[in-house]
Structure 1
Amino acid sequence: MRDEHFLFSGSYVPLNHGSYGAFPAAVRTYQRSLQDQTESRSDAFIRFKAPSLLLESRTAIAGLLQVPRQTVVFVPNATTGVNTVLRNLSWADGDVIVYLSTAYGACEKTILHICETTPATSVRIDVSFPIEDDDLVDLFRLRAQGIAAQQGKRVKVAMFDTVCTFPGVRLPWEALVEACKAEGVLSLIDGAHGIGHIDLFDLGQVDPDFFTSNCYKWLFTPRPCAIFYVPTRHHHLIRTTYPTSHGFKPSQERQIPTAASSDSDYLGELFKWAATVDMSPYLSTLEALRFRSNVCGGEAAIENYCFDLAQQGGKRMAQLLETEVMDNRNAKLSQCCFAMVRLPLRFASDTVSTTDRVMDRRSEATRGGIEYNQQLLPPERGPEFVKTIMDKLRDEHDTWIPMKFYSGAIWFRISAQVYLEMADLEWAAGVLSKLCKELPGSASGS
């Protein structure tokens, strides 16, 4: 799959699909044909042909999500989708935006900017993983109720991920949407790791108030490309694209569709021409879906393969390193294409994992082939070790694995994809073991 259909360098081991995605050679060829058509007759293509192709792409994506076409449009990325919602809403004194501490950095900064420039305020809910799904939902519900109990305060919107960027774990976003409905809160779902990754076939049934998801990460489209879903009942809230462009109508000219006029394509017209951009990534969605169906066997086959590789591969890497995979008791956090595995480095920290407790009872001082000094590593060096390891992965081993010093340990995130197999993950575990040995402070390091 990797050699025949994708475009990676022969020496590169692509273990970080989650950050920027990857698209097949067939999709690249299709995209370039669209770009060639644009250059050969720009007016004919951009003005007349591209809009019909865009409508076809929207129809295909809507079919994949099982929602009306009128509720789905394309935007460059999920950050744009989040900005579009937050900057279209009207904010008054007492309005509160709630979000989790695992929110993507750009989206958190958007919230902070909204709070600097409008009367809105924000509440950041600190979450430490692993956490049980029910506990996370209860934590949100109690915090929302606590805010509502304050005079003059109300939670207007809550933002959640489908799958967090880091740690790479799946959130109970469906249950959080239900909790928002119960509390009278608008739900804004950052599904950056959503479409092509997890099962979104019931998006219309879950019925979030706003949902955005990157297609270039997991759906095999070129960059930039994302979908933005707004149910008809909220079309009146989305007045403009960002940047504001041709689709905007002043208040006196607007005609917002109602549920009874669901055949209106208000959202599509608003987003159809949001400034002059290269639309080929949006239009290549059709070819990406054809590749997923014809070459990969369809959405279910891709999901099954990637989920299995992430879960079994994560366990195998943890076995080789003699550490652990991040998960909760019901194994819900790992229901995605990421595997979160801990490096075999022990830090002097209040956070002690289950594996550390087990290892403390062992007589031997070696784990995963790495010998440790009696003295634990100082936690303030955790970020330094992360940078050292990641630099060597890039410069000496031609790969990239995201990792962070998190909760008193170094965790890394592996992305499972159809072009990878178990041998790739076993190779990565061996490389990581070697690099940990070389760190200053380990028994074999300088």
Structure 2
Amino acid sequence: MTLPTEPPPEFGHQLRQYFGFEADYVNLNHGSYGSVPNPVSQATAANFRYMEGNIDRFMRLHLPEHLRPARHRMAKFVGAGPEEIVFVPNASHGINTVLKNLVWNKGDIIITATTTYGSIGRTAQYISELPPHPSVSLFELKFPTTRASLLQAFRVHVDTLYTKLQVAQRAISDGKKLKIVAIIDSIASNPGAYLPWKEMVTICHERSVLTVVDAAHSVGQEPNINLSEARPDFWVSNCHKWLFAKRPCAILYVPKRNQHLIQSPFPTPFSYMSPKEPRENFGGSHFVEMFGWTGTIDFSEFLSIQSALDFRQWLGGEQKISDYCHSLALSGGKRLSELLGTPLLDPTGEFTLNMVNVGLPLALTTPDNAITHEFLLRSLLEGWRVSAAVFLHNGRWWVRASAQVWNEISDFEYLAKALKDSCEKVELKYRRKVPVKL
């Protein structure tokens, strides 16, 4: 990748020139799809052209040598062993890979939460509806709360299930060992809240509960991840959200102690090895080999990690990026709350990294929440040319704003104007039965 020759400007609107945004677009929803810097797009396009120059040679002979340094670099970035990280398209794909590789028994339990991402919660439901029908246990996680209260409630939930499982285990005569698998958010999507996931993993390990950490928002947002120290059983994070890689791109972490549980990626590749096959003569990590090529895809997205990390170094490094985005999320959220006259979901900031959640000036519910949600999104995106995530939580409408290096406090002030106007239109539509247009 060829980095810009000039030093980076101050963080804020001056950095917009390095991204492909439309001139009048205010992006406060980086957390949904990420945003690719122009230098990363250019480097990715160059990689694609190189691949296309002789695609057979690249795919058949040189793909591993290009993936290896990118994979090793990401392993170091998250504090994992180089043979414990593989690439997958996105976090949902990685978590499905884990959950659908586990061998389920009747009586097994999957823990989800009220904040579990929609498709992941549905995946757990899908697994429970297939024989042998493991059950799903929902952990109620509602804000406002505190980290201490959350951990205490989670411990009680896990302990209760563990006691139940022990009783069920004693009644089994066929020797099958029952298990609990907990799906844990590192940073929940809606609300955008930084959870004490490392402590939750520790609680699970005390009760021999397997942990699958949905860290979709972690890489590039959460500092000091250090997976070797946190020791989750499985962990997956998107690199196209906060790291500036090209979508789709994610990493799946499976420590060596658990790699025997992952028999096959999806789809199953040529490199799949049956447990019945001898492995003593196989060189290297079979786990990595299996995920090296699962079908014909554009590998330039995975390789974009290299240019994304180079771009972040040019900006000044992880600490500088983290400090700016976190500070702006706190100050921007406070300003948005003042202008809307509504509360912050996390007034102390203990759950806040680079995403902040503020209440909307709306009645607690509307006659049709799905229509209201679409109306608000259309009003923001098409009427005001601003993006932010709106959602319902604990009986109230909220907005989630993502702070990124190109944002300034004025973006939050503009969002406040857009939200006031949009919410007023909702009130007119439902309370006064007045037809409104965007």
State the Cα deviation string for residues 43-82 of structure 1 (Å, max 9, x = none): 1112222211100100110111122111111100011111
Please give the secondary structure, in 2, of the residue aligned with 1:143: helix
Greater RCO, 1 or 2 (C-alpha within 8 Å, sep 6+) = 2
The 1:66–1:285 alpha-carbon spacing in structure 2 relative to 1, beyond 3 Å, is same
Q: Hey, what's the Cα distance between the residues in 2 that align with 1:167 and 1:238?
A: 31
Aligned to 1:333: 351
Q: How far does the alpha carbon of each residue in 1:222-269 deviate from its partner, in whole angstroms, 9 at most, with x for none?
A: 111000001110111111001111221012225389xxx9x9422211
Structure 1 segment 349-428 matched on structure 2, within 5 A: 379-380=366-367, 383-428=370-415
Q: Which amino acid aligns with 1:128?
A: K
Are 1:7 and 2:20 matched, yes or no? yes
2:358 maps to a residue whose letter is V
Query: Which residue of structure 2 lines up, in the alignment, with residue 271 of structure 1?
Result: 291
Alpha-carbon distance, 1:435 to partner: 2.4
CA distance in 2, matches of 1:238, 1:256: 18
Kindly indicate whether the alpha-carbon contact (under 8 Å) linking 1:438 and 1:444 is maintained by their aligned counterparts in 2.
no
1:131 lines up with 2:145 in the alignment? yes
The answer to whether the Cα contact below 8 Å between 2:204 and 2:211 also exists between their aligned partners in 1 is yes
Aligned to 1:58: 71
Structure 2 CA distance for aligned equivalents of residues 321 and 256 of structure 1: 65
Which of 342, 363, 376 pairs up with 1:323?
342
Secondary structure, aligned partner of 2:240: helix
Match of 2:361 among 322, 344, 350: 344
TM-score by length of 1: 0.87
The 8 Å contact of residues 376 and 390 in structure 2, kept in 1 or not, is answered as no
**What is the CA-CA distance between 1:201 and the residue it aligns to?**
3.6
Moved more, 310-319 or 338-347: 338-347
- 2:241 equivalent among 201, 217, 241: 217
- DSSP-derived class of the 1:228 partner: strand
* SS of equivalent residue, structure 2 residue 357: strand
Report the Cα offset of residue 438 of structure 1. 3.2
1:434 shift after superposition: 2.4
What's the CA shift for 1:89? 0.9
> Equivalent residue for 2:62?
49
Correspondence for 2:168: 152
Partners of 1:182 and 1:324 in 2: how far apart?
Answer: 37
Between the aligned partners of 1:248 and 1:14, the Cα distance in structure 2 is: 42
> Structure 1 vs Structure 2: percent identity of aligned residues?
34
Q: Deviations over 1:384-422 (max 9, x none)?
A: 443322211122111222112322321001011111111
Amino acid at match of 2:396: A
What is the CA distance between 1:423 and its match in structure 2? 1.0
CA contact (8 A) 1:21 1:216 kept: yes
Q: Equivalents in 1 of 2:279, 2:157: separation in Å?
A: 37
Aligned to 2:213: 189
Matched, 1:208 2:208: no
1:144-182 per-position Cα deviation (integer Å, ceiling 9, x unaligned)? 222222221655210011111101111110110000111
Counterpart in the other structure of 1:114: 127
Give the equivalent residue in structure 1 for 2:324.
305
Aligned to 1:31: 44
- Contact 1:383/1:404, CA 8 A, preserved across alignment: no
Give the 3-state SS of the residue equivalent to 2:426 in structure 1.
Answer: coil
Count residues in correspondence. Answer: 409
Question: Closer, same or farther in 2 for the Cα pair 1:323/1:415, shift >3 Å?
Answer: same
One-letter code of the match for 2:248? Answer: P
Structure 1 distance, partners of 2:262, 2:146, is: 35
Cα RMSD after superposing both structures: 2.1
Q: TM-score, normalised by structure 2?
A: 0.89
| Alpha-carbon distance in 2 for matches of 1:444, 1:316 | 30
279 and 256 in structure 1: CA distance in 2 versus 1, 3 angstrom threshold: farther
Give secondary structure in 1 for the equivalent of 2:70: helix
Task: Report the equivalent of 2:4.
Answer: none
SS at match of 1:284: helix
**The 10-residue stretch of structure 1 (139-148 or 416-425) with the greater mean CA deviation from structure 2:** 139-148
Give how far 1:436 is off: 2.5
Measure the CA separation in 1 of the matches of 2:340 and 2:279: 60
* Cα distance in 2, alignment partners of residues 66 and 328 from structure 1: 31
> Which amino acid is the alignment partner of residue 168 of structure 2?
G
Structure 1: which amino acid aligns with 2:262? I
Q: CA deviation at 1:346?
A: 4.0
For the 8 Å contact 2:40–2:307, the answer to whether it is kept is: yes
Paired residues of 2:335 and 2:413 also in contact (CA < 8 A):
yes
Please say if 1:433 is aligned against 2:420: yes
1:2·1:8 contact (CA, 8 Å) conserved in 2?
Answer: no
Q: Is the 8 A contact 2:151 2:200 kept in 1?
A: yes
Work out the CA distance in 2 between the residues paired with 1:322 and 1:149: 46
Return 25-34 or 435-444, whichever deviates more.
435-444
Contact 2:71 2:85 in 1 (8 A): yes
- 2: CA distance, partners of 1:256 / 1:307: 49
Secondary structure of the residue aligned to 1:149 is helix
